[in-house]
Structure 1
């Protein structure tokens, strides 16, 4: 999808979703030079974000308590192993492996989160421990297939606004020159 179409959709909906934000960032990162139309669209988006005409949807309006529980278990287990051996484990790989084999426990309020947390500790803790153990066993025995692989980066909500602002500032002189001719 093009920057113009993303901006048009955001203006129509009144929202800039995380997927739209990521796509604009990807286009800006991979394109050596944007067109005048793309700059104008980014300028419209920036203005709409600043005035509130378009709202950037936060990445998470909910949490998966299973992530917290798996990470707590994985950190404890990995710390024990790394303290007593020369083995280095990938916490992210271990957590992802275990999470892919466990049910999600989403909550949108603090009360819901506390309910899910206590329910999981009562009913799911043995299963969580088992999946983390299996993930650790796989991680220990796994050869390094792709040492050049890159971890997923996380963008915060304000990064797009900063990227758009920097992009517009760095190319504004080209835009003004093109409009003058």
Structure 2
């Protein structure tokens, strides 16, 4: 995938997953210089993160690969439903509902995570799809209780700005330095 396509997907879904972030980093590390289009895409991502249009899913020292797989499946399904109807679904509720009914797949290394991903694709993909669909059905059929409730992990603008700044420093450290003086 290209940086532009990853960022377009993040903008479409409203989420930047750790896998997407890692792929952008891998691409940035593998080329000597980014194109103008790639810098523009990164700039669009920064703006979307600042406005909250895109939410960065945080990284951890260990990961539950099942979270990544369920989130990916949930984002795909929710995006389809929201594109074809006037319904708005709560992605967090859907992912949590499905995850509570699936086994965890923790890993502390990239090799371990790759092993768990492969294992899940071969042994658990049908179960993941089924649980996400059940979560969506449950979400669609429940009444709106407590509309004033606050989602966990809502970050402030200052925290978001810090995340974006860190992301750009990691993936595009020379962006500002490449401008030629007028």
Query: Normalising to structure 1: TM-score of the pair?
Result: 0.52
Matches of 1:60 and 1:84, distance apart in 2: 34
Q: Quote the residue 2:103 is aligned against.
A: 103
1:31-50 deviations in Å (ceiling 9; x for gaps): xxxxxxxxxxxxxxxxxxxx
SS in 1 for 2:89: coil
RMSD of aligned C-alpha atoms? 2.3
How many residues matched?
A: 101
Structure 2: give runs of 5+ residues left out of the alignment.
Answer: 1-58, 160-182
Q: Quote the residue 1:63 is aligned against.
A: 63
SS in 1 for 2:102: coil
Q: Shift of residue 153 of structure 1? A: 1.7
Q: Quote the residue 2:21 is aligned against.
A: none
Q: Shift of residue 154 of structure 1? A: 6.3
Matches of 1:61 and 1:154, distance apart in 2: 21
Structure 1: give runs of 5+ residues left out of the alignment.
Answer: 1-58, 160-181
Query: Normalising to structure 2: TM-score of the pair?
Result: 0.52
- 1:134 matches 2:110: no
Paired residues for 1:81-160 under 5 Å: 81-153=81-153
Matches of 2:137 and 2:113, distance apart in 1: 30
Runs of 4+ in structure 1 off by over 3 angstroms are none
SS in 2 for 1:120: helix
Q: Shift of residue 61 of structure 1? A: 2.0
Matches of 1:60 and 1:70, distance apart in 2: 17
Matches of 2:72 and 2:133, distance apart in 1: 13
Greater C-alpha radius of gyration = 1
SS in 1 for 2:118: helix
1:69-108 deviations in Å (ceiling 9; x for gaps): 0011001111111111111100000000000000000000
Q: Shift of residue 60 of structure 1? A: 3.3
